[in-house]
Chains A and B, each alone.
Chain A
């Protein structure tokens, strides 16, 4: 019998959480397509960042509200700026805001959530819960608008405003997970051998919450892009440059005059990216759900 040979010729999926999740995610067609779209947008953003395309977003050489043409694929706005270049450049703005806010708010939420969860019922937990309660009790857009308004003129005021509000959900989720994890045997073992608390929290417990952090980061990413668009529309967002929000704000007057290109272009770009990211996020959540992964 050559069972050994048969067994070794079959690729064996990893037994780890990440291996199982990746295996499952690959089989989710919707998730893979959504990931492809997100990667495509990321590619556009990287191209803008590298100066390969979109650099002419501020040129004013075109005619007023020109229709689509070989020179201006999606037409121009009131001051003759190329709408296609502006939409492409706005992709970079969206990713910039999304990445900064997602990464920083996830780190902040992860750390504070872990501390809160590990020190449950202590003053640390009380303080962090109180802070989260206060921040959550303020209507989100009102709070973001207030911070953006207070820090006006500072180019990262919008980022700060979003980070200050987005971390709380992540922290709550991480806190719940840490409360569960801290009673596991590996944590008790770590305590028994006298490891310092910091090491236990950040080296042993937190890595086990990464699946939550990853999913939460994708959700925050989408939320940040949408918030940026709304804040820019309200005049509290992007200070210099262009974004889909600014393009939609411009279009409110143009649409009344029968010029739809700015509105349709910005809305389409925003819709496709947000939709793809949402679907990607859903699939990732399914793939990383320990109950579903182990099933």
Chain B
């Protein structure tokens, strides 16, 4: 009997131990468990179109440049590159030197399984991949038409043995890029996951599996990856570069309270194991976060903001019970939401009949008067968003805080008057299709919009919701210019207003990024003029003039930048960022107690 009891006890303890184990042994390891509200479908840099993929990719691979960890406004810095690029006088030739002795992680893809040194040729190969149709790159638009000879290379069959005139490895550690015309944002594109450097051996060895078997030279290497989480472990071969907080933009007043000074002089990555959990449901993520020992970073579900926050304005404050347990940062997003009119639709945009085109202009401006930004902010963004006029959001340096705000005015009376003056009557008004994904939020935003339009005398039955099952379907309809009114959000790829101004550049019309199909000769001319200019007061002046053209044309109702609130546990030393710095911040994260 005693023997049986002992055996049972032994077996139970084995089962218990088995149930508690978390894959490989993590005792004594520093484990940081991050969370994201979506999951990547591929870890191939050429497919890293989402912030979720980007977060993982930039931690497995190296990019030539990245962003300073703490500096705001964001500042770009060399990462794998040894220094910022040497740019020729005419802004067309970039010479970039990369660090020596950087190695890919060990992997069966290499001879003898030993990772070799990363060279300039690897960067050339990685960028060429985007123009190889077999790669089905989602990021080629960054460099399309910009690199000299790349189009011809693609046209000639994307043969990697053939050289591209504008993209060469001059020697083992020097890259030269020649552009067709100046592209001041080039260096920012080299800080995106798309530009991450992959070894050709791994691409060839894994074939289609390469999307889930990444081999890079970044701070971490992938251990496991599925739709629930990605587990990364420290790359022991990662170069030892001590952290210089002053260089990274450390400010005692801002960062001191988070204990960031503790990482000074240490070499990233600072944790042994990085787990990125993909949890779409915000409340589930929150529950896991507040339980204390699972997720160590999260945002606050908007439904719980009143329970968690003591104050929303002018600055965000946590309630004491949460402030005791968590660190928090808040700030506006590096993007904005806006509602565009489809100018390609003759019923609301451009029309061969000039009189009708004038009427359409009045109609768009009247609709803008009906738009109540304050209510939109209050009902959907917890009254915490920042409303600004036009398409240059507050997060970029070109934003004009003193610019005219009349485009944000809510006045149904003025809207109604404008319609009457332009000769619009209820029976003449066109049926407006408002496109969106079949989700509760989108439908409510539409219903609110419809409610406002009825206040300027728009018949309710003439405002219809065009619903789509997925964002992909909706986006496809937008790209085919099928929808009259398009509500969208835009997240900046890099902190330069050019990234938002290109949204209204004529040649970028559908299926390009110009969803409004706006095509104004003066705007196009100014865009082309400014696109090749380095940051300067002259360029800022041009940007602001372009912003005003968009506003005067009533082509969009814009905009609002949403507030982002991020929380993390107090034993985590971090300064998280979801957008521009994004996944780059994870190599600086430290945990104060091991083995959790």
Contact = CB atoms under 8 A, between A and B. Distances in A.
B142 interface: no
B440 A252 contact: yes
A193 to B, nearest CB: 56
Nearest to A81: B447
A257 B438 CA distance: 22
Nearest to B449: A60
A152 B468 contact: yes
Contacts of B460: 58
Interface residues of B, number: 27
Contacts of B443: 246
Contacts of A252: 440
Interface stretch (A14-22, A232-240, A286-294): A232-240
Contacts of A240: 464-465
B451 A149 contact: no
Contact of B447 (A60, A235, A236, A254): A60
B474 to A, nearest CB: 11
Contacts of B469: 149, 152, 235-236
Contact of B444 (A61, A78, A236): A78
Given A152-B469, A252-B440, A257 B451 contact: no
A79 interface: yes
Interface in A32-67: 58-61, 64
A133 interface: no
Interface in B368-397: 378-380
A3 interface: no
Interface in B430-471: 438-440, 443-444, 447-448, 450-452, 454, 460, 464-469
A235 B438 contact: yes
A256 B379 contact: no
Given A59-B451, A235-B438, A250-B440, A256 B283 contact: yes
B304 A256 contact: yes
B301 A256 contact: yes
Contact of B439 (A58, A79, A235): A235
Contacts of A268: none
Nearest to A150: B469
Contacts, number: 61
A68 interface: no
Contact of A79 (B304, B451, B464): B451
Interface in A225-284: 235-236, 239-240, 246, 249-250, 252-254, 256-257
A59 B466 CA distance: 19
A78 B452 CA distance: 15
B353 interface: no
Contacts of B306: 257
Given A59-B451, A60-B451, A79 B440 contact: no
Contacts of B450: 58
Interface residues of A, number: 25
A150 to B, nearest CB: 10
A152 B477 CA distance: 13
A149 B303 CA distance: 29
Contacts of A235: 438-440, 467, 469
Contact of A58 (B451, B464, B473): B451
Given A236-B438, A249-B440, A153 B379 contact: no
A254 B283 CA distance: 13
A253 B303 contact: yes
Task: Indicate the member of A60, A77, A149 with the most B CB atoms within 10 Å.
Answer: A60
A61 B379 CA distance: 13
A78 B469 CA distance: 23
B11 to A, nearest CB: 40
Contact of A64 (B283, B304, B379): B379
B378 A58 contact: no
A78 B460 CA distance: 20
Interface string A72-86: 000001111100000
Chain B CB within 10 Å, residue with most, of A61, A149, A257: A257
Contact of B452 (A60, A246, A249, A250): A60
Contacts of B379: 64, 78-80
Which of A153, A240, A250 has most B Cβ within 10 Å? A240
B304 A257 contact: yes
B506 to A, nearest CB: 29
Contacts of B380: 78
Nearest to A242: B447
A253 B439 CA distance: 12
Contact of A256 (B303, B444, B452): B303
A154 to B, nearest CB: 11
Contacts of B452: 60
A79 B467 contact: no
A3 B444 CA distance: 73
A60 B467 CA distance: 20
A61 B378 CA distance: 14
Nearest to B306: A257
A264 to B, nearest CB: 17
Contacts of B444: 77-79, 250
A149 B473 CA distance: 11
A152 B447 contact: no
A58 B446 CA distance: 11
Contacts of A249: 440
A287 B306 CA distance: 56
A1 B304 CA distance: 86
Interface string B257-287: 0000000000000000000000000010000
Given A78-B379, A79-B448, A81-B451, 12 more contacts: A58-B454, A58-B460, A60-B451, A64-B378, A79-B447, A153-B466, A235-B438, A235-B439, A246-B440, A246-B443, A250-B440, A256-B283
**Top 7 nearest A-B pairs by Cβ distance?**
A60-B451, A235-B438, A256-B303, A257-B303, A79-B448, A249-B440, A250-B440
Interface of B: 283, 301, 303-304, 306, 378-380, 438-440, 443-444, 447-448, 450-452, 454, 460, 464-469, 473
Interface of A: 58-61, 64, 77-81, 149, 152-153, 235-236, 239-240, 246, 249-250, 252-254, 256-257
11 contacts: A58-B450, A59-B454, A78-B379, A81-B447, A153-B466, A235-B440, A239-B467, A240-B464, A252-B440, A254-B303, A256-B304
